[in-house]
Structure 1
Amino acid sequence: MRKDAEAVERAFVNFWKRTYPINSDRKLTLAFLIRAGDWRPLDASWWRGKEVSIIGADIYGNFLLRHCDGSVRYWDHQRQTDEIIASSVVEFCERIE
């Protein structure tokens, strides 16, 4: 968890970088990130998976979730699906452009 917190703090320092590349033709524009010390398990009727915490969101209100396996997932509200976009919070933060 400490590495996650340090990576998020570095991302805050550089938050003028707000684009996250999912693949070569798809990028997210981040609206906000939540500091690691403020992450809490998500308790929402629409979430049916294992424990996650919201760590941020894009400009469309879709959530970035830290899954209990350590991965970062993108929750698309319209599609009601999540996809893994990074294997860890550290990887996620390092890829923010």
Structure 2
Amino acid sequence: MNLVDSFEKIRTTFFWRRCITLPDGRNVAVAILLREDDWRALDAPWWRGKQASIIGADVDGNFFLRHCDGSVLYRDHNAGTVAPVAPGIREFAKLIVEGGDSVA
């Protein structure tokens, strides 16, 4: 099984009603998940960490990043923070569920 099979299934199945609960308990609505073929190394003035790729974004424009160690991070632009979400893509995909009306 490909490393990102479960991610691709989530990416193509739930369409626009996806949400994820972050480790701090916040629920965020996922706006987009990029195809693996579109993951590129991030080159942005605000990113000072090791190599990472944008793999998705929430409805507020915050990014989900795949770090070079394989983990998935959440970049909150308003807070200026980066927080771990999952140790890998498979675990990240398992956190994404169909959203309800409370997720905007």
What is the TM-score when the length of structure 2 is the normalising length?
Answer: 0.84
Equivalent AA in structure 2 for residue 73 of structure 1: L
Would you say the 8 A contact 2:62–2:77 is kept in 1? yes
Deviates more, 1:44-53 or 1:11-20: 11-20
Q: Distance in 1 between matches of 2:58 and 2:28?
A: 6
Equivalent AA in structure 2 for residue 7 of structure 1: S
Q: Distance in 2 between matches of 1:24 and 1:42?
A: 25
Deviates more, 1:10-19 or 1:34-43: 10-19
Q: Distance in 1 between matches of 2:54 and 2:23?
A: 22
Q: Distance in 2 between matches of 1:74 and 1:24?
A: 11
Partner of 2:87: 87
| Root-mean-square deviation over aligned CA pairs | 1.5
Q: Distance in 2 between matches of 1:50 and 1:90?
A: 21
Q: Distance in 1 between matches of 2:54 and 2:60?
A: 15
Q: 1:8-87, aligned counterparts within 5 Å? A: 8-16=7-15, 17-23=17-23, 25-87=25-87
In structure 2, the residue corresponding to 1:92 is in which secondary structure? helix
* Number of residue pairs aligned between Structure 1 and Structure 2: 95
Deviates more, 1:7-16 or 1:44-53: 7-16
Runs of 5+ unmatched residues, structure 2: 98-104
Structure with bigger helix share is: 1
Deviates more, 1:20-29 or 1:67-76: 20-29
Shift in Å, 1:24: 7.6
Q: Distance in 2 between matches of 1:18 and 1:80?
A: 24
